[in-house]
């Protein structure tokens, strides 16, 4: 059965944002559906000034038989209390009103966190898919009807209940089909972002770590599944030569694991003499002088770190499997390069005390001291912990009574109990001061 299918990236940012992300996931799925013989078109509601007008025009002109929607984020994070669920529900209702005969199928990372709840919130949704959809979505469309075939991750209704089939996290990345960028124009996303490059490259899925707040292992599995390094560089080369993409972001949960994998990619970039820039999130304990030099030589333009804990007590509670010494050693290694570094930390962890507050402030000061010589610390990002379902931090928050059975985690809930609920602002003042002084060459007054 060949169908007209519209894939929609629902609002993933708050309002009109200059930080745009090329919708890698839906373009990847569109590529698979196109290969299966379906007629496919795409809408990204984050790119235009009239997203609902763009969507309406596409619905009326293309008249899809199936509309597949991706909810990538449930909220903007960054300590914000606004939610992306209301615009998502609005998009669902809008499509159902404009084109009531179309099948509505939803997926995406945000949806995968709350599938039952979102199907209950939006009765217009016919089916959902949790987790990886490269196989599940084409299989569902092959015999779409009231009684769908059994596919991994399928969400459906039966006798007034929402049933969710266990998702797959075993997709063979050696069979990864690079997204066909011809299906959705890449040009509007270039030369816009100032924080993270807009164009993503997916080299692997899966994360073996056990961070207390993180959902990646649950969504992608705990075993890293890597694409062949040559295939990754083939995609980079196509982006560079055919689309003019000079800078991109690796979407991997952690870029420099397993050991030797990123090194192989970098060596292939250098062998082909590709002049590109890239960034991603690095694991501190897996850096040494040799691979840091290789990463810089191969085009790394930002070392992003997420140690999260500002002291050893925080690192332990958050399940990072790191030491303060490993965090500072990584800082010393990258501070010797010409590459900017960014650090992400979580504030007011379970067990925060006045002593750990002081240790956290010393950590920030130490990082700026390390980077002062070359002035290559871009920023330190400080967030409270967003509580997500199924995580250890949710369990700890419930045991402490910070949240209870009535707490609705679909909407932003941050772990930030008294008496340190305002500690983040003290840290932000310290970090901003250190940042300004570093870039302006002014010594901090002691």
The CA-based angle 181-185-186, given to 5 degrees, is 75
When pLDDT is averaged across residues 259-263 and rounded to a whole number, the result is 97
Give the pLDDT of residue 193.
Answer: 63
pLDDT above 70 covers what percent of the chain? 98
Mean pLDDT of all residues belonging to the chain: 94
Which is it for strands 225-226 and 247-250: parallel, antiparallel or unpaired?
unpaired
Give the pLDDT of residue 150.
Answer: 87
- Beta-carbon contacts of 22 under 8 Å, excluding residues fewer than 6 positions away, are 184, 186, 189, 198, 199, 200
The answer to whether residue 190 scores a pLDDT higher than 90 is no
Secondary structure class of 442 (helix, strand, coil) = coil
Instruction: Please answer whether residues 237 and 274 qualify as being in contact, where contact means their C-beta atoms are separated by less than 8 angstroms.
Output: yes
The answer to whether residue 53 scores a pLDDT higher than 70 is yes
Give the pLDDT of residue 313.
Answer: 98
Residue 29 pLDDT class (50, 70, 90 cuts):
very high
Distance of CA 155 to the CA centre of its chain: 22
Residues 430-439: tens digit of each pLDDT: 999 999 999 8
Closest CA to 136 of 161, 158, 113, 166: 166
Residue 362 pLDDT class (50, 70, 90 cuts):
very high
Residues 151-181: tens digit of each pLDDT: 999 999 988 899 999 988 888 999 999 999 9
The sign of the torsion formed by the CA atoms of 15, 251, 300, 268 equals negative
Residue 411 pLDDT class (50, 70, 90 cuts):
very high
Q: Which strand (E) or helix (H) includes residue 139?
A: helix 136-142
The answer to whether residue 73 scores a pLDDT higher than 60 is yes
The sign of the torsion formed by the CA atoms of 119, 125, 131, 135 equals positive
When pLDDT is averaged across residues 10-23 and rounded to a whole number, the result is 80
Residue 20 pLDDT class (50, 70, 90 cuts):
confident
- Give residue limits of the domains in the chain: 4-164, 195-440
When pLDDT is averaged across residues 223-244 and rounded to a whole number, the result is 96
CA distances (Å), origin 75, targets 113, 204, 307? 12, 25, 22
Secondary structure class of 52 (helix, strand, coil) = helix
When pLDDT is averaged across residues 179-198 and rounded to a whole number, the result is 85
Instruction: Please answer whether residues 1 and 35 qualify as being in contact, where contact means their C-beta atoms are separated by less than 8 angstroms.
Output: no
The sign of the torsion formed by the CA atoms of 285, 324, 220, 6 equals negative
The answer to whether residue 139 scores a pLDDT higher than 90 is yes
Residue 286 pLDDT class (50, 70, 90 cuts):
very high
Q: Which of 14-18, 64-68, 220-224, 410-414 has the lowest mean pLDDT?
A: 14-18
Instruction: Please answer whether residues 103 and 67 qualify as being in contact, where contact means their C-beta atoms are separated by less than 8 angstroms.
Output: yes
pLDDT above 90 covers what percent of the chain? 87
CATH of 195-440, one of 3.20.20.70, 3.40.50.1950, 3.40.50.300, 3.30.470.30: 3.20.20.70
CA distances (Å), origin 274, targets 195, 226, 230? 23, 21, 13
Give the pLDDT of residue 16.
Answer: 63
CA distances (Å), origin 165, targets 40, 152, 157? 26, 6, 11
Give the pLDDT of residue 1.
Answer: 78
- Name the token pair of 145: 């009807």
The answer to whether residue 446 scores a pLDDT higher than 60 is no
When pLDDT is averaged across residues 261-284 and rounded to a whole number, the result is 97
The answer to whether residue 18 scores a pLDDT higher than 70 is no
β strands within 213-356, DSSP E: 225-226, 247-250, 277-282, 300-308, 340-346
Give the pLDDT of residue 442.
Answer: 85
CATH of domain 4-164: 3.40.50
Residue 195 pLDDT class (50, 70, 90 cuts):
low
When pLDDT is averaged across residues 326-339 and rounded to a whole number, the result is 98
Q: Which of 12-21, 202-211, 320-329 has the lowest mean pLDDT?
A: 12-21
pTM of the model: 0.94
């Amino acid at each position: 059965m060949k169908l007209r299918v519209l894939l929609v990236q629902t609002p993933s940012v708050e309002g009109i944002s200059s930080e745009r992300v090329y919708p890698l996931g839906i373009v990847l799925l569109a590529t698979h559906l196109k290969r299966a013989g379906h007629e496919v078109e795409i809408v990204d509601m984050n790119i235009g000034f009239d997203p609902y007008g763009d969507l309406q025009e596409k619905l009326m002109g293309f008249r899809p038989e199936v509309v597949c929607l991706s909810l990538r984020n449930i909220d903007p994070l960054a300590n914000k209390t606004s939610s992306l669920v209301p615009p998502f529900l609005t998009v669902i209702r809008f499509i159902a009103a404009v084109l009531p005969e179309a099948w509505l199928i939803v997926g995406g990372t945000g949806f995968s966190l709350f599938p039952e709840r979102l199907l209950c919130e939006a009765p217009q949704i016919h089916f959902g898919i949790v987790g990886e959809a490269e196989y599940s979505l084409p299989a569902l469309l092959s015999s779409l009807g009231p009684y769908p075939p059994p596919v991994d991750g399928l969400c459906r209704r039966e006798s007034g209940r929402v049933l969710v089939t266990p998702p797959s996290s075993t997709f063979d990345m050696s069979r990864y089909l690079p997204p066909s960028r011809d299906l959705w124009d890449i040009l509007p996303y270039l030369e816009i972002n100032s924080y993270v490059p807009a164009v993503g490259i997916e080299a692997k899925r899966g994360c073996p770590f056990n961070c207390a707040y993180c959902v990646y292992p649950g969504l992608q599995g705990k075993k890293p599944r890597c694409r062949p390094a040559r295939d990754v560089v083939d995609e980079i080369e196509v982006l560079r030569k055919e689309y003019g993409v000079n800078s991109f972001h690796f979407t991997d949960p952690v870029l420099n694991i397993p050991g030797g994998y990123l090194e192989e990619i970098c060596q292939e970039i250098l062998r082909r003499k590709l002049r590109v820039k890239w960034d991603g999130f690095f694991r501190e304990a897996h850096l040494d002088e040799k691979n840091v030099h290789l990463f810089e030589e191969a085009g790394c333009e930002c070392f992003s770190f997420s140690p999260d804990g500002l002291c050893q007590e925080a690192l332990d509670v958050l399940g990072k499997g790191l030491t303060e010494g490993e965090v500072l050693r990584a800082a010393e290694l990258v501070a010797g390069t010409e590459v900017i570094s960014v650090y992400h930390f979580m504030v007011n962890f379970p067990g925060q005390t006045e002593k750990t507050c002081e240790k956290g402030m010393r950590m920030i000061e130490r990082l700026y001291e390390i980077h002062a010589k070359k002035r290559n610390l871009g920023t330190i990002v400080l967030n409270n912990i967003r509580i997500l379902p199924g995580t250890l931090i949710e369990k700890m928050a419930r045991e402490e009574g910070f949240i209870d059975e009535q707490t609705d985690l679909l909407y932003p809930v941050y772990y930030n109990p008294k008496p340190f609920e305002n500690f983040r602002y003290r840290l932000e003042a310290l970090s901003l001061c250190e940042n300004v002084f570093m870039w302006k060459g002014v010594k901090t007054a002691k």
